[in-house]
Structure 1
């Protein structure tokens, strides 16, 4: 099993949010914690060489569902003290293309940008640790201790 320090949690967080294309996915090598992008080109090369991610024991990193990211925006909005900013952010996520509109509103309120990024990074770090634990890649007690330090119980 791996240890948390073996994994680049920021890279894992990026992989957990990767909604680029169906044929581009990330996977983690359970032997060393390396996170790799698996593209169509890599898959073709691997097939011609007679190996695949599964044969190497790789664990596919499926991205989080968009409704989870939407909930993150909702949770963040509830912490915003500036009434005008909070109102515009709330309106932004009720429209079509809520993610784009949310970012547009953040551009109007620079004072909300750092708090959003800190909030988002913390949430994604928690998700990354939970994903590692749930995937059986790290010792559950190590994950639980890290989550406890972040104020999350299990």
Structure 2
């Protein structure tokens, strides 16, 4: 579910969340590969189309991350990377020059995507935003929570 928020799709391709099971389905113009269902079919049975993050959100996340980087060559390089055309691509390329920073970015980005996912689930009415009393039960909310926040043993 989380990775679908970061997936900018072409027209005719979309991701759908099945609220009852927490299953995420990929739908093309030809339908869902496994079932043949169309986007209309998915919507009719209560699935919710996942809205990918906007490029504005992605840019804001990069700005927030860079603001937290210590002054120095990495911070300067990352600011320059997002200043031109194709800022996301240039930002990711710049991170290869700073392996430790790249790891920090992915950890930061994962936390941000989880927050967006929870906000989206609440916004579309799939989840109330509260943890169920019995964690990890078979309810739809718990299935979604398990996918978003896997138990660490």
TM-score (norm 1): 0.78
> Which runs of 5 or more structure 1 residues have no equivalent in the other structure?
1-11, 147-154
SS in 2 for 1:18: coil
- Rounded to whole Å, the distance in 1 between the matches of 2:29 and 2:106 is 31
> Which runs of 5 or more structure 2 residues have no equivalent in the other structure?
133-144, 146-153
Aligned residue for 2:14?
25
Aligned residue for 2:72?
83
Per-residue CA shift, 1:16-75, capped at 9, x if unaligned?
Answer: 12113111111111111111111112169435xxx7111111101011110000000000
Among 53, 71, 78, the residue aligned to 1:64: 53
SS in 1 for 2:49: strand
SS in 1 for 2:130: helix
SS in 1 for 2:4: helix
Are 2:16 and 1:36 aligned?
A: no
TM-score (norm 2): 0.78
- Rounded to whole Å, the distance in 2 between the matches of 1:24 and 1:127 is 21
Residues 17, 50 of structure 2: 8 Å contact kept: yes
- Rounded to whole Å, the distance in 2 between the matches of 1:127 and 1:117 is 15
- Rounded to whole Å, the distance in 2 between the matches of 1:128 and 1:138 is 10
Which structure: greater helix fraction? Answer: 1
SS in 1 for 2:37: helix
- Rounded to whole Å, the distance in 2 between the matches of 1:21 and 1:62 is 13
Are 2:85 and 1:106 aligned?
A: no
Per-residue CA shift, 1:118-138, capped at 9, x if unaligned?
Answer: 000000000001111111111
